[in-house]
Amino acid sequence: MIVVTGGAGFIGSAIVWRLNQLGNENILIVDELGKDEKWKNLPSLKFADYMNKWEFLNKIEAEALSDIEAIIHMGANSSTTEIDADYLIENNYEYTKSLASYSVEKKVRFIYASSAATYGDGALGFSDNELEINNLRPLNMYGYSKQLFDRWAFRNKLTDKIAGIKYFNVYGPNENHKGDMRSVVNKAYDQIKETGRVKLFKSENPLYKDGEQVRDFIYVKDAVEMTLFFLFNKEKNGIYNAGSGKAQSWNALVKSIFTALDKPVKIDYIELPSHLKAKYQYFTEADISKIKKAGYTQQLFSLEDGVADYVKNYLLKDKHL
């Protein structure tokens, strides 16, 4: 059995979708559905059972589950604006430590979600060299909670036994429930439907024109393929970036949405909120040489193709994976 924590969430449900495509339905989805609508990601998926995340942890700690082949741990609070540090420590750090310790002891494959938020302002670059882990300085508590586990795993010599994935800016179907944490593609699509225009933040950095701040955008289908590479290649361990390897501007991103909708490009630039100014990243770009060296050779979606697939085959059709 393959366990996917956060299996009703964005990347987690996409992983289950892809496993189904590959013929695997012996999947235990672990999550905490709460009051949002991520449950809507589940009806189209095929899986053996669903379990609440705290019940799952209790069963793991009591050694009450057997026949687990792998735990793909996507479950976490992923809000970059969450300020309850104790909550993030419990959910993103302590919970992950428990699952990792169990997996290593029982020789269960463990793959977990780290985050590009661990890189902070990018001053030290975006290399997934584990020797640099202790030098990184995240800009928000979410990133720090992920950084804490990366450092714990490295310090306890687990990075040669487990695989961690640092996801960059992921966009794609099954993210509707994420509210303000939805991708700009999802938000911009709604804005275009309502007003025919898109709002982007002005630049506060003289090195970047308005809308020319850049990010590494990766389509969720590529993020899933990179993740499952480590399920099918169990000898590949360590912490790896999952990104396109190519930084592109917000302007390029939203122009791809207008193109997919066959609409004229109309962008309004608005002031960057004061609470974001100290935490705003102007440049992110994944160094993906490490995952390529590990043997990952699959062709990635271009930004234009990924956005077009998302808009035409999912957003316009109000469809989940």
239 close to 149: Cβ distance less than 8 angstroms: no
**Amino acid, single-letter form, for residue 227:** T
Using DSSP bridges, classify how beta strands 247-249 and 169-171 pair: parallel, antiparallel or unpaired. unpaired
Residue whose tokens read 């999952």 = 242
Mark whether 87 is an active-site residue.
no
Find how far residue 198's CA is from the centre of its chain.
24
Q: Retrieve residue 67's tokens.
A: 């026949």
**Six token digits for residue 5:** 């924590």
Selecting among 40, 97, 161, 178, the annotated active-site residue is 178
What length is written for the chain?
A: 321
Cα within 13 Å of Cα(213), Cβ side? 15
Residue with tokens 């799952």: 56
Active-site entry in 93, 112, 142, 167: 142
* Catalytic residue status for 142: yes
What type of residue sits at position 304? E
Closest CA to 49 of 7, 14, 103, 18: 7
Contacts of 321 (CB under 8 A, 6+ apart): 13, 14, 17, 41, 44, 173, 174, 314
Query: Mind telling me the catalytic residues?
Result: 142, 178
